[in-house]
Structures are given as C-alpha cells and as structure tokens.
Chains A and B, each alone.
Chain A
Amino acid sequence: MNEFKELSWQGLWKNNPALVQLLGLCPLLAVTATVTNGLGLGLATTLVLIGSNTTVSIIRNWVPSEIRIPIFVMIIAAFVTIVQLLMNAYTFTLYQALGIFIPLIVTNCAIIGRAEAYASKNTVGKSAFDGLMMGLGFTVVLVLLGAMRELLGYGTLFDGANLLLGDWATVLKITVFETDTPFLLAILPPGAFLCMGLLIALKNILDSHMERLFAAKSEEKVVQRARVTTES
C-alpha cells in the first residue's frame, strides 16, 4: 500500500508533471484561458494516461526494447483517438473550443514519459494508478492556471462549465467582477507563462517552508566525516 501512497505524492506534488517536470507545456499554456478548457483538457489527458499506462504495462514483457517508442506512440495515439471521438460525441462545443489540442495530446511528453519511465517497468495496477495520479496532478495545475487567467482576464470563474458537465452546470458560473475591457494579457499566451511562473514560485515557497518544518522536527544532526581529498 505504501507504494500507492508514494505514487500519489509523486504525481500530485513532488514530481508534478506540469510544475516540476514541466512536461506538456504546449497544451498547458495554450488552452488554459478558462477553467472549463483547463478541466476538459486535463480530464482528457488523464484518461489517455490511464489507458496508455495500463496497456503499456500489460504488454511490457513482449515489446522488444529497440522498437518500444513507436509502439508506445501508437498505443497513445489510439487512446487519444478514442478520447477525441468521445468528446466529439458528448461535449461537442468543448471539443471545438479545444480544437487541435485534443489530437495534440499524442505529443504530450508527460504521457510517453510515464510510459517509458514507469509503466514499462511496473505491474498493471501500479501503472494505472500512476497514470491516474500523474493525470490528476496535471489536471489540478491546468485548472488552477485556468482559474487565474479567467479571473484576471474576464472576471469570472467556471464560465461555460455547462459545455463539459451538462446543462445544470450553468449555475456554477461565478462573476467576481464585471468588466468591459478584458485584461487581454492574461488571456493571451504571455499571461499563461507569467501565471505558470508564479505557480512554480508558489510551489517552491511551500516546499521550502515544509522543509524548514521538517528540519525543525528532526533536530539532532548526524555529523558525517567529509572526505577532503579528491582523486582527480
């Protein structure tokens, strides 16, 4: 069970694909103008990650290592096509809003990265769980980024959530302030870079705080002998 805990911690925080590995930045920066777009793309990526991780893990013993990358890419592409067709069928407006970035999930290096680094070496259950956690970590960052940009840009939150979640979700829309002049910088790609930088900075601050708390707990220090002469 400890392994699963470790996987969640890695995926959601310590090795977060968006904040730490900085993988998949292209969709991350391009589609997160609103919360809904971020959530939609995040969920799609999560589904693909779970599917590809599971499949790669199942066939890991029969794949020759020389041609593993093309095989992984084909598996990922198959799952992306499934997700794309599903979104086309059930959330058509969101499908149109996300546009090219749904097929581009194939090129998201977070997915092939997990397939290569984790799924091809571990059992099915763990790999699927890893895909879920990595996907959730990615989704959380997408939603946060979308929230920051939507709030700054349009003054709203969850605008257009009904496109993803069905008609009842129209009530989710929160108007924080009314504005005639959208703050275009937040909506345009530079705003995504700035918000991303701020999020990473926030994570680093929290990390250093936690480290200090942790260090305060384990007060006693072990003195280690340092080797002063080197062999170069």
Chain B
Amino acid sequence: MRFRLASSPHQHIRRDTGQVMRLVILALVPGILMQTWFFGWGTIIQIVLAIITAIVTEAVILELRKRDFERALKDYSAVLAAMLLAVSIPPFAPWWVIVIGTFFAIGIVKQLYGGLGFNVFNPAMAGYVMLLVSFPVQMTQWLPPVNLAQYSHNFMDALYAVFTGFSVEGFSLAQLKTGIDGVTMATGLDTVKTGMAQGLTFSETIEFPIFDSVISGLGVASSWISLSYLLGGLYLLKQKVINWHIPVSMMTGLFVCALIMSLVDSDLYPSSLFHLFNGSIIIGAFFIATDPVSASTTNKGRIIFGAAIGVWVYLIREWGGYPDAVAFAVLIMNMAVPLIDYYTRPRTYGHTSNKQKPIDKAKS
C-alpha cells in the first residue's frame, strides 16, 4: 500500500464547477414549481427556450474561440444563467424575447468578457436589464396568479401564447391578463407604485385583490414563490454552496431601509415585510447576488456588497422609475466589486494588517 503525501488542509470537499451549478439548479426547482403553479406552463416553456439558446450560443462561441466546448458545457453555468433569466421574465412573453436575452447574456456579457470566471457582470441580470430597457411592453406583461385570472390556461395555451401571442381559443395576452373582476392586473410592486402615484396610501393600495392573502400586504403568489426560493436558498446554505454573508446582508439592508422609512410615514412607505416578500428579493439574495464570479470574494466584502444591493433596491423601488430593482442593484454593485475587494483583502497569516504597517515600509 502506498501512502500519498498531501499538504494541508487535509479535509476538503471536492466539488467541481459542474457539481456546484447542478446543486444550485436543484435548489431552484421548488421555486420554479411554485411559479409554474401560479403562472401556468409559460415558465417551463421559457426555461426550455432559454436553456436551448444558452447551450447553442455557448457552443458556437467556444468553437469560434477554439476552446473545448464539451467541457465548458458540462459545467452547467450557461444553463443556470439561462434558467435564472427565464424565471425573471413574464411567462407569456414572446419567444424572441427570451432568445435575444439569453443570447445577449451568454454571448455578450459572459463570453465576450472571456467566459466563465471572467465576466464582470452577472450574465442573467445583464440580460434581464437589456430586455427590460429594450422591450418594456413585453417585459411587464405579468399574468395574474392562476386563482385570480378570468381565463384559465393550459399547456397548449401557454405554448401558443409564447409563439403566436394568442391562446388556443384566440384570447390575446391582454385578455389573459384580465383578472377575475375584469380588471387588468399588475404585479404587487407595480400596483402599490401606481396606487401611490395616484395619491392612495399604502394601506389602501394593499386592499387590491392581488394582495388577497392571509397576512395583509403580501401578494399571495409572490409570497409563496418567495418562500419556495427561500427553501432552495436555505438548502444551498446548508450544502455550503453559498455563504450566508450576501443573502443576509442584502435582506438586512433592504429591511432596515424600509423599516426606517415606514416608521417615518407608514402611509407613504410600504412595510419591510412587503418589500422582502414582493418582487424578486429572495431569489435575488440567494441565487443571483451570490454568483461566485461577479460577486465580492472576501467575507467582509460580501457583507458590504450585499448590504449595498439592499439599499440600492430600496432606493430604486421607492424613488426610481421601475417597480423592482434587484437586477439594477446587482449590476451597479458588480461594478463596485473590484474596489470592494481591494479594500477588504483579508490579512494573510503571519503578516501584519495594512493598518498596523508603518508608512515608510509601504514604500518598498
């Protein structure tokens, strides 16, 4: 028997990129199922379209760059980015929206910057922002949750709607968007934002049917979907795929901002819980902001990164033009990552920290 000599550390988890990505995809499943339950088969169709586009784009570009595309495809990073993008866009958006978005995310944002590990921006969120800026109409057509919709829709309807814009019976997207009482519905955040712009108070806007749930103020669909993503996120934490720093600090940042402002004036500023469980905060905190490539890499840096995202989300939600802001906040902080990493470099063992270092030594 041979004894192999290995240097410390002696205990390590051997996980390659593919395994990590597959775990993250697995953790996404509960959220995707819940989203499909509330918004119909459109979500699944978007995911399939996105994955196909992502794989084709990645393979073609890697072939052009003369890289080994089989190995790169096996790491599932393109698939994960495609899935994250697909769950962020409205389920019945036309097929070319997700195709253009995924191509942009993988082709431009990821591969042109040098592929996995080199992209400055989070590919899924950059793709999402590109779509939101380019096609505002298609990107804001969220359907009402299934229990509130006037017309029910099945798999074939979803397929037809994605590819032709009409369901099998010929209902247009605008008709499918109609709620049970004949009123077109928006997302929870949108409802509150529009209501407030019309001079309603927060407690009045959450009387709208979209907030018809046990705890008042939480959209029934968005809170269930958020809880499912939370479940997946906690699984990732337990598997040590992600660290707690970014999700916790991001949610804390948002929570504290919302708490202060709602204490100042609870009529004008929605409560912290409303902010946390509406929109894409949970999936953003656990799945998007924790992207190992574009997020900060030191623990202190991760806390700054996450908290700043939370603050940005609050600022843009309250005073910006768009109802939700996770994508913008993540992209803004992605730009700040090199700076954050520079100032939060941990002390290496045996060296003194920068603060204790005498100034004249720093010259050499």
Contacts and interface: CB of A to CB of B under 8 A. Distances in A.
B138 interface: yes
Main secondary structure of the interface of A (DSSP, over half): helix
Interface residues of A, number: 8
Contacts of B135: 181, 183-184
A181 B133 contact: no
A185 B130 contact: yes
Nearest to B138: A181
A183 B108 contact: no
A181 B137 contact: yes
Nearest to B96: A181
Interface in A187-208: 188, 190, 194
Interface size, B (range): under 10
Determine which residue in B100, B108, B130, B138 has the highest number of CB atoms from chain A within 10 A of its CB, and name it: B130
A188 B137 CA distance: 16
Contact of B108 (A181, A184, A194): A194
Contacts of B108: 194
Nearest to A186: B134
Contacts of B138: 181
Interface string B84-110: 000000000000000010000000100
B328 to A, nearest CB: 13
B340 to A, nearest CB: 24
A183 B130 CA distance: 10
Contacts of B133: 184-185, 188, 190
In the A-B complex, the 5 residue pairs with the smallest Cβ-Cβ separation, listed nearest first, are A185-B134, A184-B134, A183-B134, A185-B130, A185-B133
Interface of A: 181, 183-186, 188, 190, 194
Given A181-B138, A183-B100, A184-B136, 14 more contacts: A181-B135, A181-B137, A183-B134, A183-B135, A184-B133, A184-B134, A184-B135, A185-B130, A185-B133, A185-B134, A186-B134, A188-B133, A190-B133, A194-B108
Interface of B: 100, 108, 130, 133-138
17 contacts: A181-B135, A181-B137, A181-B138, A183-B100, A183-B134, A183-B135, A184-B133, A184-B134, A184-B135, A184-B136, A185-B130, A185-B133, A185-B134, A186-B134, A188-B133, A190-B133, A194-B108
